[in-house]
Amino acid sequence: MTSLRSAAPAASAEARQPLVVVEDLVKHFPLRGGGFGRKQYVHSVDGVSLTIAPGEVLGLVGESGCGKSTLARAMLGLTPVDSGRVLFDGTDVAATKGAARKSLRRSMQLVFQDPYAALDPRMRLGISLDAPLSQHSLGTREERHRRIVEALDLVGLDESFLSRRPQQCSGGQLQRIVVARALLLNPRLLICDEPTSALDASVRAQILNLLIELKSELDLTLLMISHDLRVVRHICDRVAVMYLGEIVEVASREDLFERPAHPYTQALLAASLPEEPGADTAFPTPRGEPPSPVDPPAGCRFHPRCPKARERCGVEPPALSASRQGHLVSCHYPDA
Ligand SMILES: Nc1ncnc2c1ncn2[C@@H]1O[C@H](COP(=O)(O)OP(=O)(O)OP(=O)(O)O)[C@@H](O)[C@H]1O
Ligand SMILES: [Mg+2]
């Protein structure tokens, strides 16, 4: 097995092609215990399209339950979708089988929110770290050991962790182990689903900085899922904002934070960055709770909570379209 550090592919002419293309993805879960009458569905992901460029850090933000994790799992092929497709480096994720699927799964790794849940508490970390390599029948025992030590080194830990069990580590150390485990298979895309929300505030920045360092060192592409806009502001190149199963705004980090166009993004910003010096306090905070994803509102899904809503908003769903260069927004009155 080659070293993880030397395995990073050089930037090529194809680097302009998106690494990931999500096309009109739909995932509805049947509602259990729905009773008589019409069968009901949770509209978890409802027509999502987006792209991720190689080497990019894309943020995905939105309130709890808006569909972020479902979208991530669908992108990895872990959740079968109702319609739409995901292309990874031009390959349809759902259509691959056998060895091609295994290889695709190695290229896309997921880092979960809770490192305590991600690692078996009864197992020494050395065994947990060896599992992905043995499952993929990679290398000899000796080669696997070398790769594990290299991955630990990349996340700032030493060999002594191999003989420890999860309860002998701090939350920050465990999240580093989880990141190391994801790196072992030499992925090209790392999907980080709320990677720091289970950690103490003091170690959050360390883990985020580690991810950014690894991204550069290993030429990774990152999808960073968070409900915390401060996380996204810290490390993302571009940000997609999700609301009730739909993407409502996509823009570069600067554009999104300086010129948010969707009233929902404006409200999220106001709610999450109240103490920012010079913050525009004219932004309203989100009113009320998000409506049920089982029966989403007609027209624009945000209209019942939107301070700018007009009659048209309750009738006609807005399309995600360019308001400025590279800035997509799904709102009938983005400049109102
Ligand atoms: N396996 C499932 N079966 C039924 N409903 C599901 C399933 N997984 C997710 N859902 C529903 O889909 C919606 C979106 O859930 P999802 O976990 O994707 O949201 P999220 O944005 O990741 O939320 P959070 O920020 O809390 O992690 C929710 O209403 C959730 O209850
Ligand atoms: Mg989630």
- Distance separating alpha carbons of residues 251 and 65, to the nearest angstrom: 22
Which residue has the CA at smallest separation from atom 12 of ligand 1? Answer: 44
Residue 296 pLDDT > 60: yes
CA dist., res. 265 & res. 248, Å (int):
8
Residue 211 lies in a domain: no
- Whether 279 has a pLDDT exceeding 50, the answer reads no
Domain contains 177: no
* pLDDT interval class at 297 (50, 70, 90): very high
In a domain, 209, yes or no: no
pLDDT(255) > 50: yes
pLDDT at 265 over 70: yes
Q: How many domains does the chain have?
A: 1
Can you say how many angstroms the Cα of residue 18 is from the centroid of all Cα atoms in its chain?
16
**What pLDDT, on a 0 to 100 scale, did the predictor assign at position 284?**
44
Residue 319 domain-assigned? yes
Is 214 within 8 Å of 156 (Cβ atoms)?
A: no
Is 179 a domain residue? no
Amino acid 289: pLDDT: 78
By residue range, what is the domain housing residue 85? 17-118+187-200+219-329
- What pLDDT sits at residue 1? 78
Provide the pLDDT for residue 281: 43
CATH of the domain at 224: 3.40.50.300
Residue 318's nearest CA partner among 326, 63, 310 is 310
**Residue 280 pLDDT greater than 90, yes or no:** no
Give the residue-averaged pLDDT of 12-33.
84
Ligand found nearest the CA of 245: 1
Substitution site in 26, 27, 28, 29 for ligand 1 pocket (most atoms within 8 Å of beta carbon)? 29
pLDDT digits (tens, 9 = 90+) for 51-76: 999 999 999 999 889 999 999 999 99
The percent of residues above 70 in pLDDT, for the chain, comes to 92
Question: 2: pLDDT confidence band, cut at 50, 70 and 90?
Answer: confident
Q: Choose the residue to mutate in 28, 31, 70 for probing ligand 1, maximizing ligand atoms within 8 Å of C-beta.
A: 70
Q: How far is the CA of 175 from the centre of ligand 2 (A)?
A: 17
Q: What is the pLDDT of residues 116-129, one digit of tens each?
A: 888 999 999 999 99
pLDDT at 112 > cutoff 90? no
- Note whether 73 and 45 are within 8 A (CB): no
Q: Which of the listed residues 45, 68, 71, 264 should we mutate to test ligand 1's pocket, taking the one with most ligand atoms within 8 A of CB?
A: 68
pLDDT in tens, 207-225: 999 999 999 999 999 999 9
pLDDT at 46 over 50: yes
pLDDT of 34: 59
Ligand number nearest to the C-alpha of 193: 2
Instruction: Tell me if 142 is assigned to some domain.
Output: no
Q: Give the span between the Cα atoms of 311 and 291, in whole angstroms.
A: 18
Residue 235 within a domain = yes
Average pLDDT, the chain: 89
Q: Is residue 163 part of a domain?
A: no
| CB-proximal residues (5 Å) to ion ligand 2 | 69
Q: What gap in Å lies between CA 71 and CA 324, rounded to an integer?
A: 26
**Other C-beta atoms lying within 10 Å of the C-beta of residue 332:** 17
